[in-house]
Structure 1
C-alpha cells in the first residue's frame, strides 16, 4: 500500500486571475418584526470585511503556504484600497489594475443569529480584453505551475479562451471556476469546477449519478478538458476524468453547515495548488473536499490554513496507509495529544537501511524509556551523502513502512538534512536517544532538548550487527558465488 505524504505547498507558485470583490458583514440581533413591513429588525452590533471572489481564492492559496500572485481590477475607491490592504496582509502578491472605469464590487450581508438575512450588491464593472492583460500574465507566469481563472462574470474574464491558450502555450496547467454556460470559451483548460447548479445549466437536469457522469464525459471530450470536478453540496463532489473515463463520487465531509459562502473558492485553491505539485486529480479533489467541509462550517468566506487542514487530514481516507507514517505537521499535531495526557515522548533517528536484530533490540530499549517513540529517518538523498552513492539499499518509502510495522514504534517521520537537529528542535522530546559510542555534545539536537528540560540517553548497539556489515557479507557472498561459477 502506498504512502501519500501531505503536500509541501511552499514548493508551488500559483497565479490567480479573475473578478475580485469586498465582502462586508453587518452582525446583529433580531427579536422582532418591523411595524413598517413584514421584515425582521436587526440591531447591528458589529461589522467586518473579508476578501471575496478571486481574491478569496488567492488568500486561500497563500494560506496553504504556496506563493500566490493575483491579477485583477479594482476601482479607485475606499473599498478597493481596503481590499488591496487585506490582500497584502495575507501575503498575496498583488498585480491590480486600479481603474476609473469601474467601482470595486462590494457585497454587503446582514447577519442575524449566525444566519444571513439579506445581501446588498454594489457593482459597476468593465470588460477587460485578453490583450490588455497579456503583459501582466507574461511577467507573472514565470516559474508558475498553475493558472487559476476565477470567473465571476464581472468583466475580468471577458475572453477566457485567449487566457487559456496563453498559459497552455507556456506549459502551465489551467484550472477554471466557470460562470459562462457556453463551455467553448473554456476549451482546452485542464479542469473545470462548476457547482451542481452551474453544471445543470450547462447540460440540463440530471436525475442520477449516472446522468452526471455521462454528461460530464461528453463535455470533457467535446471541449478537450482533462477533467471536471462537480461540487454537489451535501452530496459531496463528483470527479470525472478523461483518462480511461474514470469517475469518483466523493462524499461530503462537512459536520455542520453554517454558510456555503466562498466554499467553491476554497475548493479551487486547494485543487489547483495540489495539481501544481503534480498530485493526481483524485488526491487533489479529495483534499479540496476536506477543505470545503471545513469552510462551510464557518460563517462567511474563510481561509483554510495548513494546520487546520492537517488536523482534518487524518480523518479522511486520503492517507489510509500504515498507521504511524506521518509528515512533520501531522507528527506535531499528534504529539500535542500525547503531551496533553502527560505522556513521555522519546525520539531517535537513523538511516535504518536494512532492519536487523540490533535495530529491533535498540528500538525496544528506546521505547521502554517513555510512552511514545518517534523515529526520524534520513531521506534517500541524505543517506547517499552520509553513506555513499550505493546507499540506501531500500527506498525511504519502504524503510518507513518497515519501521512503522514494529510494535515498539509509534510514529515514523522523514527529514532531508544531514542531521535531524531542526526536526528535533520542533518536536522537543522528553528523551532523545542515540545509539553508539557518542558524547552528548556530539548528538544533533541534544543541546535544544536539554535546554527544554529533557534528557539525552546513549544506548549501546547489540554487538555484531550493523547494516554496513550486512552489506559487506552480501558482497563477499556474491564474490564467492562468482568464483565458484
Structure 2
C-alpha cells in the first residue's frame, strides 16, 4: 500500500483541481491506423493493409498535459503547432481533454505528427511529418514571452523535451529562472545527455540510457551509473534526479544517496507515453504536497496502468482510485467519508466499471448476523457502500437508550471489515436521500422485506439497478444481545445481594 494514501486520495478526489501546471515542449499528434494484412501487393513486394479503424491521440508534451487533466489538474500547454489539418485534430483532442492551449504559438512549420500503421498487433510502418528547418527567431521569442509570463502563476512547470526544437537553451533558462523566482518547482523530461540546458530545475527525469550518456558510463553498469549521477546534482543545481528504469521501476538520486521504487507488476502491452505519465504524476504529486518518495511511488502506479494499454493513452483518475481502494488494502480511517467525497469516489468507481452495492443500518453492537449480511452484499458487486445511521437517527428509531456504541466508534468498527469499501453516516430516519445521491447498481436489505417495501427501491430500479433481499441469521440481533446483557446483570446483582445478606 502506498504511503500517504489518504493524502493521495484527497488529491485525486478534488485536491488536484486546485493545481495549475504548465507544460512546455514539443507538441505532437499521434495517429494510429489499424487493419488486416492477408496478401502482398502485385505492384511491389509490400503488404496490403485492409483498413479497419483509425484514431488520433495527443503526443509528446501534449500527452503530458492530457495526463495532468486526467488526474484532475488544470493543465496549461505551451509549444508550437502549424496551420494545418494536424493542428485542427490535435486542438480538438486537447479541447475535449480540458487542456488550456493559451501558451501554444502558431508557427510557419508543420504540426509534428507520427502515423503508425499496424497490421493486427504488428507495426508495419511509421510516417513522421516534421520539418528539419530552423524555426524563425521571432516565433521562438513569442513562445519565450508567453511561457515566462505564465510560469510564475503556476503550481509547477514541466519541460517536456522531445528534441524537436521547441525547448531551446534560451527558453529553458528563461522559464527555469522565472519559475524559481516565484518558488515554482520545475520538472524536466530530457532528450539530451547534456543536462546543462536544464540547470536550476527541481528534477530531471531521464531514463537509464539517457543517464548513462550523461555520466559517460555504460548503461549495463547500473550501479556505477547511479553512483556517478550524484555529481550531476551539484553540477546542474538540481534537487534530485528521477531515473525511469523500464520494467525495473524508478530510482531517485538525492545528495544524501539513492533509493529505488520497484515497478508495479502489470502485463505490459505498450510503453508509449509511460514517461509522460511518470513526469505528469510526479509533478502533480509534489506540487500537491506529497513527499518526493510518495510522489514517485504514485507515479510508478500510474505508469503501471498506462503500459497495460495499447497506444499513447493518458492515465485516468478513476483508474488510480480503483487501484488505490481495494477493500483488503485500504485502512479503516480512509474508508469513513462524507457524502461529497463518497459521491466523487462512486463516480470514479463507476467510470472504472465497478458495480456499486449499497446497504444500510444502525449496526449497534456488531454480531454474526451483520457479518453475514455484509458478506452477502459483497457477492452482488465489487464495491460496497455502508450507510450508517448517526446517533440522533438511531435514538429516534430505537429509543433514547440507544445507541449503545457511538457513531464514530461504530463507523470505525464497520470500516475495519474487509467486505466494506466505504462508510458514510446519514442523519435522516431513512437513507433515501443518500440512495438518490449515490445511485447504486444494487440495493441490498436484510430481513423479512419484499422489494416494494425497501426504502429507495423505486429510485434504484428507475436508474437501471436492482434490489436484493437476503435472509437474516436467526437468533442474532442487537436487541437480543442487549436483553441477554440486562438479564445477566440482573442475575449477577441477585447473586451479590444473596452473598451480602
Per the normalisation by structure 1, the TM-score is 0.72
Q: Give 1:53's aligned residue.
A: 60
Q: 2:102 aligned with 1:95, yes or no? A: yes
Deviation of residue 213 (structure 1)? 2.4
Local SS of the residue matching 1:239: strand
Q: Does 1:253 align with 2:265?
A: yes
Map Cα deviations across residues 249-306 of structure 1 (whole Å, 9 max, x no partner).
Answer: 422533132x222221122222211122111222222222222222222222102211
Distance in structure 1 (CA, Å) of the matches to 2:351 and 2:116: 38
CA contact (8 A) 1:267 1:291 kept: yes
1:153–1:413 Cα change, 3 Å: farther
Whether 1:10 aligns to 2:17 is yes
Deviation, 1:426, is 1.9
Separation in 2, partners of 1:170, 1:376: 46
Looking at structure 2, the residues matched to 177 and 77 of structure 1 have their Cα atoms a distance apart, in angstroms, of 27
Instruction: Describe the SS at the equivalent of 2:32.
Output: strand
Identify which of 298, 302, 305 aligns with 2:316. 305
3-state SS of paired residue (1:430): strand
Change (3 A) 1:138 1:256: same
Residue of structure 1 aligned with 2:252, choices 221, 239, 242: 239
Equivalent residue in structure 2 for 1:78, among 71, 77, 85? 85
1:265 and 2:260 matched: no
Cα separation, 1, equivalents of 2:456 and 2:332 = 28
Partner-residue secondary structure (3-state), 2:51: strand
Q: Give the C-alpha shift of residue 235 in structure 1.
A: 2.3
Query: Quick one: distance in 2 between partners of 1:176 and 1:188?
Result: 11
With over 3 angstroms needed to count, the CA separation of the structure-2 counterparts of 1:363 and 1:338, relative to structure 1, is farther
2: CA distance, partners of 1:82 / 1:134: 26
Contact 1:348 1:374 in 2 (8 A): no
Residue 151 (structure 1) aligns with: 161
Distance 1:82 1:338, change over 3 A: closer
Normalised to the residue count of structure 2, the TM-score between the two structures is: 0.69
1:430 pairs with one of 430, 439, 443: 443
Contact 1:324 1:412 (8 Å CA) reproduced? no
Instruction: Provide the rounded CA distance (Å) in 2 between the counterparts of 1:236 and 1:431.
Output: 42
Q: Deviations over 1:13-38 (max 9, x none)?
A: 21111110111222222234456665
Distance 1:330 1:201 in 2: 44
Which whole-Å CA distance do the structure 2 matches of 1:87 and 1:64 have between them?
15
Structure showing greater Rg: 2
Written as runs of structure 1 = structure 2, the 5 A alignment for 1:78-227 is 78-124=85-131, 126=135, 129=140, 132-139=143-150, 141-142=152-153, 144-158=154-168, 159-204=171-216, 205-227=218-240
Number of positions where the alignment pairs a residue of Structure 1 with one of Structure 2: 416
Q: Identify the range of structure 1 (269-278 vs 211-220) with the bigger mean alpha-carbon deviation.
A: 211-220
Per the TM alignment, residue 218 of structure 1 is displaced from its structure 2 partner at its CA by 2.2
Considering only aligned residues, what root-mean-square deviation do their CA atoms show, in Å? 4.3
Instruction: Report how far residue 430 of structure 1 moved.
Output: 3.3
Gap change, CA 1:115 and 1:451, over 3 Å in 2: same
Q: Distance in 2 between matches of 1:168 and 1:108?
A: 38
1:452 alignment partner, one of 447, 452, 460: 460
1:110 positional shift: 1.1
Give, in whole Å, the separation in 2 of the partners of 1:297 and 1:406. 31
Equivalent-residue separation in structure 2 for 1:17 and 1:368 (angstroms): 55
What stretches of structure 1 of length at least 5 have no aligned partner? 350-358, 379-395, 434-445, 464-485
Paired residue secondary structure (2:247): helix
Q: 1:323 to 1:30 in 2, by over 3 A?
A: farther
